[in-house]
Structure 1
């Protein structure tokens, strides 16, 4: 198959969407497919055997990490040369809308996927009143597609309830060869502690430092548990506010890590905290579980698809201010139970490889292409 992706986010940005895309492209190419990627400029011209077309872009004022790329004639020309069998638009916004238009005007089968719960982000940026309008815009864009893929059952249900048609689940995936418990090390723990005493209660957050991640919810845990230490791995537009918020606490801002350093950080924590209640999936939770780090996540969105409370991690109620504290105390308070959760978390992660997720996606593509053939025959 020849697949053209339009995505609003790609390398060098680091987030769960980019991780899924890079792993998907790798496995598509290994399976013999040809891939063309349209994305904001800044990415390499080729990635894992796929051609990448960078489109000039400008940062979104409220969220400078997200760049908006405006389609231009060169995009249409590159698509024409590639002659794809199918177009896949990832999180359609600006460049993605161009991809939708190009697919529709050329009669190309269109698949869209939903990864970022943008309507729920609005309230964290003081624009909650725009949520109904954004849902209408998303519905208009996604309903151009023959198939709309979501990364959790909660998002499949929510999009369907909002009037978005032809929804289906695109299963999760994680690199269990990179993220593994064996990378736990005292050296990494020392780095994560930032010079503080190791009390055996190292809390870890890895991901983007942004308002919608609700990282500030972790501070009451530190206040309730004086022996706890917190390491925040990553960076983002909310870092300065978080530095002020966590001032006076045992918190280390580590910055970005990648590769085996990142995997070692996951493996070296005593508990991974993910307070966000706006996640469509929460890929970092799967990475933590693969590394054998017990997790605490919100009982909201896509997270319950990954975390089974008391079996492979702990869930907390984001509407209850004390629930996160109780969940962390429950996890850290029993070393034997924590060890059992580590093992169960790793076992759960081992069920979800990127190869399987990509083969499921290829089956979806074949189904959409089959629908096209039936329409042509009819």
Structure 2
């Protein structure tokens, strides 16, 4: 069996989608599935990861040639908005486009049950859930970097941290406001911060963050983030799955998340601490940096402060962190890899 495993915009897309594609290819290697990264019809299955215009064209050609098409549903209008400048404006026309694009597939691969529920409203195409997974090998030896990264960013335990692109949808305002409310605790967000792609509100929040809230920008070794951080705080409003969350859990870090449907598989008080989702009201149309999300200062900050206060206790952190690590075992690449060989075999 040979698979054409194509990732449109591969040279430009970073973050969770790029990590997912990397994970998929590692899993294909593990189960011995031959693949090419070129979009070719000289394959038994065409697997598309981002349904851009080229992918849509190749999907149409594949259907005409009788080659089964698998499409990953990394992108939804709900997840796309509130990310970078102008994404709010683009989110509305994106949905009808994705409906047509996803409708060209023979099978849609969804990273979570929440994403699957969303996608059922996009296209009348069979769906299956396959987690993006967590690459434990990428984290190997992270503990050795603790002293280096704590010193580099002047961090003292217990450090509250987050990993990923700095975007408002991920709960930026809640993260910053919680730091304001807890001046004796270090908060740090490890991840890209390209100011030219950010709306005014995002830039303002970063610029006006308190001294105990650090934005590192890109870090050369993401393991350093998991070494220096003690409590993974993820106040995101919308997520298809959350690879950084899985990585934090695999690293044995206690996690605090917003209580949204995406994280329904996590048990509050056992796998994590959850803070109520709340009703955020209308989005910030002026900022053009949101998609109906306005996580204002009163948005569940009390809950995040209380959860982090609970995790000042080292024993409680250790307990939740151990539970998180055990829960993450089901998301290892070894546990998921066989799913791809099976679904390709069913289609080919």
For normalisation by structure 1, the TM-score amounts to: 0.76
Counterpart of 1:250 (choices 212, 215, 229) is 212
Q: Does 1:19 align with 2:19?
A: yes
Q: 1:93 aligns to what?
A: 52
Partner SS, residue 215 of structure 2: strand
Q: Deviations over 1:208-264 (max 9, x none)?
A: 123433323211101211112121211143478167444443122222224xx3223
Q: 1:334 aligns to what?
A: 313
Spell out structure 1 runs of 4+ moving beyond 6 A: none
Question: What is the alpha-carbon distance in structure 1 between the residues aligned to residue 21 and residue 90 of structure 2?
Answer: 29
Partner SS, residue 357 of structure 1: helix
Q: 1:235 aligns to what?
A: 192
Q: 1:337 to 1:248 in 2, by over 3 A?
A: closer
Q: 2:28 aligns to what?
A: 28
Kindly state the Cα deviation for residue 319 of structure 1 after the two structures are TM-superposed: 2.4
Q: Does 1:269 align with 2:229?
A: yes
Question: What is the alpha-carbon distance in structure 1 between the residues aligned to residue 213 and residue 223 of structure 2?
Answer: 20
Structure 2 regions of 5+ residues with no counterpart? 280-297
Q: 1:3 aligns to what?
A: 3
Pairwise CA RMSD of aligned residues?
2.6
For normalisation by structure 2, the TM-score amounts to: 0.82
Kindly state the Cα deviation for residue 107 of structure 1 after the two structures are TM-superposed: 1.6
- Give runs of aligned pairs for residues 252-331 of structure 1, distance below 5 A: 252-258=214-220, 261-305=221-265, 307-319=266-278, 321-331=298-308
Structure having the higher strand fraction is 1
Kindly state the Cα deviation for residue 120 of structure 1 after the two structures are TM-superposed: 4.2
Kindly state the Cα deviation for residue 11 of structure 1 after the two structures are TM-superposed: 5.2
Whether contact under 8 Å (2:164, 2:191) holds in the other structure is yes
Question: What is the alpha-carbon distance in structure 2 between the residues aligned to residue 129 and residue 308 of structure 1?
Answer: 35
Kindly state the Cα deviation for residue 184 of structure 1 after the two structures are TM-superposed: 6.2
Q: 1:123 to 1:176 in 2, by over 3 A?
A: closer
Counterpart of 1:214 (choices 125, 146, 171) is 171
Name the structure, 1 or 2, with higher relative contact order (CA <8 Å, separation 6+): 2
Whether contact under 8 Å (2:70, 2:105) holds in the other structure is yes
Structure 1 regions of 5+ residues with no counterpart? 39-74, 370-378
Q: 1:152 to 1:242 in 2, by over 3 A?
A: farther
Q: 1:86 to 1:163 in 2, by over 3 A?
A: closer
Q: Deviations over 1:317-348 (max 9, x none)?
A: 34263424423432424332221001111111
Kindly state the Cα deviation for residue 353 of structure 1 after the two structures are TM-superposed: 1.4
The count of corresponding residues between Structure 1 and Structure 2 is 321
Counterpart of 2:110 (choices 134, 150, 154) is 150
Q: 2:293 aligns to what?
A: none
Partner SS, residue 350 of structure 1: helix
Whether contact under 8 Å (1:201, 1:227) holds in the other structure is no
